Structure 1
């Protein structure tokens, strides 16, 4: 039906439409009535609480939220003031909800139903992942610009310096010859560093295909066991039914070579040194992809776990930034390159510390057709 200006009038709101809208929201949403019962829960809320909406409706919010929780105080405040309230980083961890339930909460009154409130939960783990993803992509872009500048502005002068040192070497005494050789060695070292950084400035599109991640991990493990991880036990915990990842095989090999090499260096001094490779399907997180308005799911989880001393807490937020490293002679480019490659594939890489183990976790999208190459051992 149209009005006088010819504009189409909106459809009348109804319960079915409202439910569809709420179920489309990627955050958990519940309605708590004046008696504390969970009168409504969308699909994300069912996942958050680990129970169906029908089951939740038979229980009050107090059965799920720990006694004394700030969330219960927020609900009381909203009922009293009849105004919405936000609270950030609220810990709802409990035996019933599970550990690490850190959330941002929005509570608002339902004006047409006095005493009832709507509660929206934003899990911090997801928000933190998105924040880290954006940070890592920005870090990779900064290295890209720096690499281009270095290639043009530094390599040419270095070639001249090295050439001059070589000419001087033929006309100086033995004592001074050591200095000219030092100049050549140091210029070579700087050129090598610039060459490594030039990888960041390569923005050419890469070929991608459905890849069996286990084939990639087996290949990387074989390389590691033949070289830098020769004396380290590497074990696997794979999900054999995992769908294919849409990626470039060579770049994935580079990513996991870097991660496993870092892990092997972290555990090198331990007598019980161990690296564990895991794969799993973890549905739930959706993020925006660079250059696109669409959001994609990142259900594929690949982990490299080691029992080394771990990363200092103050370095964890900056671990994937360029030139940040815990190694005495490290350049701090290995993990920055990992972040660039995974970010370019629309994924996330992050570092956690759990149960005295360091976990580098890569989250990536599924291949569109879900089919990968045949699994094989290299």
Structure 2
């Protein structure tokens, strides 16, 4: 295309196309402009925002106002990372990166671009969880090889000794056998991590999975828990292995039921929703997938202690006196094998495990067999 034929570009359309909230603030602190993402961030339309000051949405002591004053005074650009903009107007958990710059010859106008930290943090945490799972994979293979054989010998020797032992000594031989069996079961649980086969996936109705798991929970460990469901009935199928999803949500519900047992009225809330997702690589492939499906398990328990909150999905990290710390590590591995993300937000009285997963998409018609209807 020749230069003279280049179409005219509307700057406002460019700003609206950006995947980040962008606002322009005038000298009096009023919104002069807000793009479409900013409308979502502040939960207000652009016309409404133009009649309001930024200080009505962001706490007056926020570092953002200091950045705006510095930029306006110096006519420069400033970036600030991990700034908390949480407030009653725009919600909690609003940790963001800020990019502030002065508008040239703009009579004191300042542009603020906001990048939500949650997406970057989710990706960082997911990479950590996958690395931890790989560590357990190597450990599981080593344990299976190095422990199983001598463990069988110890158990067999204890059984032989028991036949000729006195009643007093028989107590000790049975103890040896029981402890050997307990170690064997622990090795069995860890051996699951060494399974590197590709996940067989298909279109799965997540609501069917959650209702099935809830039925199991109500008949056992969660019989005294009240369940609340907030489901999006229009949700597309999730691209996953159904049996593994059952294992994931059974583990999450069991954790939530045990955590909320100390509450006056134990409650677990199950939520499904369609959210704008991040893009992550599928393990063993160059393919990248979006993760628009969000499934949440919330409870009203005491919460995860702050000192282990960032490591809750690491192997052997647990708050239970008799726990092994492998349940959530296995959950993280399964979700990671699906190319998904899991995170935990916790404070006293409220803990939420959020799972982001890829949606099922119909194969192109060209790849289907016209006779059988199956994929070629």
1:339 aligns with 2:328: no
CA contact (8 A) 1:130 1:287 kept: no
Among candidates 62, 78, 81, match of residue 85 of structure 1 = 78
Between the aligned partners of 2:130 and 2:333, the Cα distance in structure 1 is 6
Q: How far has the Cα of 1:40 moved from its partner?
A: 5.0
1:287 aligns with 2:279: yes
Between the aligned partners of 1:20 and 1:200, the Cα distance in structure 2 is 48
SS in 2 for 1:204: coil
1:315 aligns with 2:315: no
Alignment of 1:1-378 (within 5 A): 15-16=9-10, 22-32=15-25, 38=31, 41-52=34-45, 56=49, 61=54, 64-110=57-103, 115-270=108-263, 272-281=265-274, 283-291=275-283, 296-353=289-346, 356-369=349-362
SS in 2 for 1:330: coil
Between the aligned partners of 1:247 and 1:83, the Cα distance in structure 2 is 49
Between the aligned partners of 1:13 and 1:56, the Cα distance in structure 2 is 31
Between the aligned partners of 1:61 and 1:225, the Cα distance in structure 2 is 48
Quick one: structure 1 residues 330 and 94, their matched pair in 2 at CA, closer, same or farther if it must change by over 3 Å? closer
Q: CA RMSD in A?
A: 3.1
Between the aligned partners of 1:53 and 1:368, the Cα distance in structure 2 is 35
Between the aligned partners of 2:351 and 2:82, the Cα distance in structure 1 is 24
CA contact (8 A) 1:244 1:367 kept: yes
Between the aligned partners of 2:149 and 2:55, the Cα distance in structure 1 is 69
Between the aligned partners of 1:144 and 1:350, the Cα distance in structure 2 is 21
Quick one: structure 1 residues 13 and 319, their matched pair in 2 at CA, closer, same or farther if it must change by over 3 Å? farther
SS in 2 for 1:154: helix
Between the aligned partners of 2:105 and 2:341, the Cα distance in structure 1 is 42
Q: How far has the Cα of 1:152 moved from its partner?
A: 1.5
Question: Which whole-Å deviations, capped at 9, do the CAs of 1:158-184 have from their partners, x for residues lacking one?
Answer: 122222333333344333333222222
The more displaced of 140-149 and 194-203 is 140-149
Quick one: structure 1 residues 304 and 68, their matched pair in 2 at CA, closer, same or farther if it must change by over 3 Å? closer
Between the aligned partners of 1:80 and 1:306, the Cα distance in structure 2 is 48
CA contact (8 A) 1:91 1:101 kept: yes
SS in 2 for 1:183: helix
Question: Scaled by the length of structure 1, what TM-score is found?
Answer: 0.83
Counterpart position of 2:367: none
Unpaired segments of 5 or more residues in structure 1?
Answer: 3-8, 371-378
Question: Scaled by the length of structure 2, what TM-score is found?
Answer: 0.83
Quick one: structure 1 residues 64 and 233, their matched pair in 2 at CA, closer, same or farther if it must change by over 3 Å? closer
Between the aligned partners of 1:352 and 1:299, the Cα distance in structure 2 is 19
Between the aligned partners of 1:21 and 1:295, the Cα distance in structure 2 is 25
Q: How far has the Cα of 1:59 moved from its partner?
A: 5.9
